[in-house]
Every structure is written in C-alpha cells, then in structure tokens.
Chains A and B, each alone.
Chain A
Amino acid sequence: SAVISQKPSRDICQRGTSLTIQCQVDSQVTMMFWYRQQPGQSLTLIATANQGSEATYESGFVIDKFPISRPNLTFSTLTVSNMSPEDSSIYLCSVERDGEQYFGPGTRLTVT
C-alpha cells in the first residue's frame, strides 16, 4: 500500500482566488494522479503527473486552470486557479504502486 498525506484537508476560498493542494507520499512512486469528486458523484481524473515531465490532462481540464507540479518522486501539487463555486469539490491525490492505486485523504474545497 502507500501512506499519502494531503494539505490542506479542507478550505473555504473566495471566488477568483487560487488554492494549491499538496500531496506527499511515504516513498518514491513514478505515477501520481489528481482526481476530483463532486458531491454525490464518482471520481473524475484531472491529470497524471510523472516526475520530470509535463502533466497529462484529461479532456475538459486545462493546465491554466489546474497547473500541476511534480518536483520529485514523493511530492506533487495541484493548483486550482481563478476559482468559481463550480470548483467546490473534493480533490484527491492518488499514487500507483505495484499496479494498484491508493488514495490520499482528500482536500475538501468550498468556493464562495
């Protein structure tokens, strides 16, 4: 398995501002993923972040809105930029280890 932490665990932000979410894993992993889970919905992949390369974004998600950094093999950040109430969601970091994906505790974001 994997031990994953995220910061912050929750935040309330004003529209138009940005929030950076941090994800830390207990040991090195090649692949990290960022998901969004809107209320009552399943998980939607935002992007895949591999160390040393640009993040790969899924359809409907763009780098200007969700810039991602992956400076090393245990850490990644996701920024939610120019937020609107529609960005209110849970944001989840995930890592793959031995072919299986494990999730962090999530960041609950509310945009007012």
Chain B
Amino acid sequence: QKEVEQNSGPLSVPEGAIASLNCTYSDRGSQSFFWYRQYSGKSPELIMSIYSNGDKEDGRFTAQLNKASQYVSLLIRDSQPSDSATYLCAVKMIKAAGNKLTFGGGTRVLVKP
C-alpha cells in the first residue's frame, strides 16, 4: 500500500462543474495535509493546507479532512479551463522525521469548455 494514494485520472469535468479529488493516507497520526497544483512544465504551487477535521474554503477551493477515515479531498467549484492541471496531495506524516512531506502520485484534471 502506498503511503499517500490518489487516482491518477484524468478527471474530466465540464466547465462550470465541480471537480472532486480524493486522497487517502496510511499514517493515522498524520497532522498536516496539503494540496498543490502543478501545471505542465511548472513547479508545484501550494493552494490549500488543512490541519483539522472538517471543511476549509478558499475561493473556489474547498479542502475536506476526515482523519478517522484517513482521507482528504479537494473540491473545485465552477471549474475553469485554467484549472486543468495535476493536483498533488501531500501529507506531513507524524512518523517521518524532519518535517518532510510525502506526496501522492497526483490526479490530472481536464476542464473542458
């Protein structure tokens, strides 16, 4: 089992719809969770961080965390073609020394006009 798992996609959504991305992790004691967006040929850009169970909203993005079920999700509302990118889930695992992040494989999102 991978430590952080994501569906590789592509997740194809029509413009204006909601894109829903999921991520599961293996380390139950993990405390910090992050979503990065990576455009092709670019470096990852932090879009959301979440530390507590529940929802956290920032503009069109909502991160949802459920520590009991060990998953974190990202919702993108009113999806735009500019949201087409790979979204990386990252977890700071309690078992890992030195504040390192463990990344999932990423979910590729395609927003079709």
Contact = CB atoms under 8 A, between A and B. Distances in A.
Given A42-B106, A43-B88, A101 B101 contact: yes
Interface of A is mostly: strand
B49 A31 contact: no
A68 B76 CA distance: 38
A96 B43 CA distance: 15
A48 B88 contact: no
Given A43-B88, A103-B44, A104-B43, A31 B99 contact: yes
Q: Which of B43, B90, B101 has the most chain A CB atoms inside 10 A of its CB?
A: B43
Contacts of A80: none
B103 A56 contact: no
Interface string B77-110: 0000000000010100000011111011110000
A62 to B, nearest CB: 17
Contacts of B32: 99
B45 A103 contact: yes
Interface string A27-40: 00001010000000
A53 to B, nearest CB: 11
A64 interface: no
30 contacts: A31-B98, A31-B99, A33-B100, A41-B105, A42-B88, A42-B103, A42-B105, A43-B88, A43-B103, A45-B100, A45-B101, A48-B98, A48-B100, A56-B97, A58-B100, A90-B43, A92-B43, A92-B44, A96-B99, A99-B32, A100-B46, A100-B49, A101-B46, A101-B90, A101-B101, A102-B46, A103-B43, A103-B44, A104-B43, A106-B43
